[in-house]
């Protein structure tokens, strides 16, 4: 983990000096333990190592700097306060929404969070939008996996420095790196079948997975779905074809944009065509 963090910092210094300069000084072990005292669960060792590297990011032009797109890195004290506020909100509402094991590390500044799962058997990262809870998704098994992935994305120019501490990305390049890092190749045909015919929950999960990886080999199946699928399937197909960016889909998308019976499909097809041009 220490070497992984050193590798990431090297890339940030070279490729994103504004982001690098926004990294706050490291916390001491004693300060980390003091800040973590209110938590009801033990935290993973990797989280301690993360904050012994840097304590989140500074404010740049009044906004906290990002470490990766949509992810402002919270100083540990602010992370624990956000956790505490969420627990108090649940107590006042009488509705348990935010799991007490979730310590927020990154936020989009609105209702999007990446949290580390604490307690026994924890360590993994979950992402969610507060309004969508209890729905969450997971891309990284632990913080080390996140750090390695960020290093590869910066190295591969899938990320670059934006303005005022923001980070921009090339979604297709990021998706290609995700595909290369997957230990096991999924069954794309099965994913498409689930997208077209699965339950709403299973279909949404398949769509989320495909959005993150943008398999070029999914294009033939998506074209068939766009032509003869259900409303839900055609909507997903139109969106994904635009995200993948396959020029061979232009004709089918033009047809869908002009003649599909579903207004949402027509809109998504028009948006997809803009992605191809």
Give the contacts of 98 (CB within 8 A, at least 6 positions apart).
Answer: 83, 86, 87, 89, 90, 130, 133
**pTM reported for the whole predicted model:** 0.84
Max distance between CA atoms of the chain, in angstroms, equals: 65
Q: Where are the domains of the chain?
A: 2-171, 188-276
Q: Report the alpha-carbon distance of residue 81 to residue 76 in Å, rounded.
A: 9
| pLDDT mean over 193-204 | 88
Does the 188-276 domain belong in CATH 1.25.10.10?
A: yes
The domain 2-171 is classified under which CATH number: 3.40.462.40, 3.40.50.300, 3.40.720.10, 3.40.1580.10? 3.40.1580.10
Band of the pLDDT at 241, cuts 50, 70, 90?
Answer: very high
pLDDT at position 219: 94
Tens digit of each residue's pLDDT (9 = 90 or more) over 245-274: 989 899 999 999 999 999 999 999 999 999
């Amino acid at each position: 983990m220490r070497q992984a963090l050193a590798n990431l910092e090297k890339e940030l210094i070279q490729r994103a000096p504004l982001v690098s300069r926004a990294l706050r000084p490291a916390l001491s072990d004693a300060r980390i333990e003091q800040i973590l005292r209110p938590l009801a669960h033990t935290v993973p060792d990797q989280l301690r190592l993360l904050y012994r590297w840097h304590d989140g990011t500074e404010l740049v032009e009044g906004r906290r700097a990002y470490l990766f797109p949509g992810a402002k890195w919270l100083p540990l004290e602010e992370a624990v306060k956000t956790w505490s506020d969420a627990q108090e909100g649940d107590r006042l509402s009488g509705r348990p929404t935010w799991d007490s094991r979730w310590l927020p590390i990154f936020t989009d500044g609105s209702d999007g969070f990446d949290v580390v799962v604490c307690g026994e058997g924890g360590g993994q990262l979950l992402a969610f939008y507060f309004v969508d809870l209890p729905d969450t998704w997971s891309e990284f098994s632990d913080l080390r996996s996140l750090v390695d992935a960020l290093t590869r994305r910066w190295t591969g120019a899938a990320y670059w420095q934006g303005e005022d501490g923001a980070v921009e990305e090339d979604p297709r390049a990021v998706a290609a790196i995700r595909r290369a890092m997957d230990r096991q190749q999924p069954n794309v045909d099965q994913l498409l079948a689930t997208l077209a015919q699965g339950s709403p929950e299973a279909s949404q999960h398949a769509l989320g997975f495909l959005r993150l990886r943008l398999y070029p080999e999914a294009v033939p199946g998506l074209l068939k779905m766009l032509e003869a699928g259900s409303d839900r399937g055609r909507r997903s197909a139109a969106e994904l074809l635009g995200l993948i960016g396959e020029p061979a889909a232009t004709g089918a998308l033009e047809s869908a944009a002009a003649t599909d019976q579903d207004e949402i499909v027509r809109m998504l097809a028009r948006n997809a065509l803009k992605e191809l041009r």
